[in-house]
Amino acid sequence: MADDLLSQLKRMTTVVADTGDLETIRRFSPTDATTNPSLILQAAQQEGRRARLAEIARHATDIDDALDAVAVEIGSEISALVPGYVSTEVSARLSFDTEATLVRARSLIERYGRHGVGPERILIKVAATWEGIQAARVLEREGIHTNLTLLFSFTQARACADAGVTLVSPFVGRILDWHKAQDPEADFEDDRDPGVQSVRRIYEHFKGHGFDTIVMGASFRNSGEIKALAGCDRLTISPALLGELAETEGALERRLAPLDAETRPPEPQDEAEFRWALNEDAMATEKLAEGIRKFMADQRRLEALLGELRQA
């Protein structure tokens, strides 16, 4: 009998669970796990966490303290279930503030240390704005690993590699969403999927120029996108799609494979070049701004929940 697709994928790609739900992580045994404000909100709303959230809220010095305490507590629980990285995100409110991002990132690492989780286990997630990328450059030099998220363009990816970040998360599905909205009748199946094409271009650039930055496809809309990127360094996958892959049998073809570095990378972009290239990419500009707003909206919901519990 043929192996299921998830088992085959795990032999060629590091599978990451895109969830904060502990039972899901136990079920699928991923190597890593990623969280974001939306996933932390979902985990925090589970009835079994309410008493603990209330305790955290009452003992916190302010709402930011409570937010980070919740994120690190959930992340620490996840770290006991996966052997690899756990990604924890800096507040989306700081996406355009390099110094504030540095302060918050260092604080998160210190909090994890108090939970017995070392910095080698944590990826600090930062939005791939110019300011976020510069913060990541500093953090990496300090030995703090980073995951640059909300990445929609080759320009963002280039800047991240130049900064020496540990991992980038190009958002496959959200790229597809934008193109579908622009051209609803177009055929975006398989290799025609613009999100898949974006990840492949980034992967080939990184491998072809010898960058160590890990490429982790994210934000998938269907299992076809995942199959089209089999062999990518990492793929972070939602519980629903993990389940679909686990229940599907058949042969899975490797679509991406490491390349020998053939040429020196181009000169790094400066800030003006980065901002101009990003501005020229309407999809990336719109989806980056939208992504920050959406993460912030869910963070505000969590802030409201913690505020209510603090006053109860």
Distance, in Å, from the CA atom of 64 to the CA atom of 51, rounded to the nearest integer, reads 19
pLDDT at residue 2, as a whole number: 65
Tokens of 300: 């505000």
DSSP string, the chain: -PPBHHHHHHTTSEEEEE---HHHHHHH--SEEE--HHHHHHHHTSGGGHHHHHHHHHH-SSHHHHHHHHHHHHHHHHHTT-SS-EEEEPPGGGTT-HHHHHHHHHHHHHHHHHTT--GGGEEEEEE-SHHHHHHHHHHHHTT--EEEEEE-SHHHHHHHHHHT-SEEEEBHHHHHHHHHHH-TTS---GGG-HHHHHHHHHHHHHHHTT--PEEEEB--SSHHHHHHTTTSSEEEE-HHHHHHHHT-BS------------SPPPPPP-HHHHHHHHHH-HHHHHHHHHHHHHHHHHHHHHHHHHHHHHH-
Q: pLDDT tens, 262-291?
A: 777 889 999 999 999 999 999 999 999 999
Q: pLDDT tens, 160-196?
A: 999 999 999 999 999 999 999 999 999 999 899 999 9
Among 10, 125, 207, 294, the one annotated catalytic: 125
Residues of the chain short of pLDDT 50, as ranges, are none
Distance, in Å, from the CA atom of 88 to the CA atom of 124, rounded to the nearest integer, reads 5
Tokens of 15: 């599978």
User: Which residue carries 């062999």 as its tokens?
Assistant: 231
User: Please, what's the b/e burial string for 189-211 (b: 16 or more CB within 10 A of its CB; e: otherwise)?
Assistant: eeeebebbebbbebbebbbebeb
The answer to whether residues 109 and 124 touch, using CB atoms and an 8 Å cutoff, is yes
* pTM strictly above 0.85: yes
pLDDT at residue 128, as a whole number: 98
Residue 125 bears catalytic tag:
yes
The angle subtended at Cα 200 by Cα 267 and Cα 151, nearest 5°, is 70
The answer to whether residues 135 and 149 touch, using CB atoms and an 8 Å cutoff, is no
Distance, in Å, from the CA atom of 188 to the CA atom of 185, rounded to the nearest integer, reads 9
Helix (H, G, I), strand (E, B) or coil at 237: strand
Helix (H, G, I), strand (E, B) or coil at 45: coil
Distance of CA 123 to the CA centre of its chain: 9
Alpha helices (runs of H) in 45-129, residue ranges in sequence order = 50-59, 63-79, 98-114
Amino acid (1-letter code) at residue 296: M
Question: What is the crossing angle of helices 172-182 and 282-311, to 10°?
Answer: 120
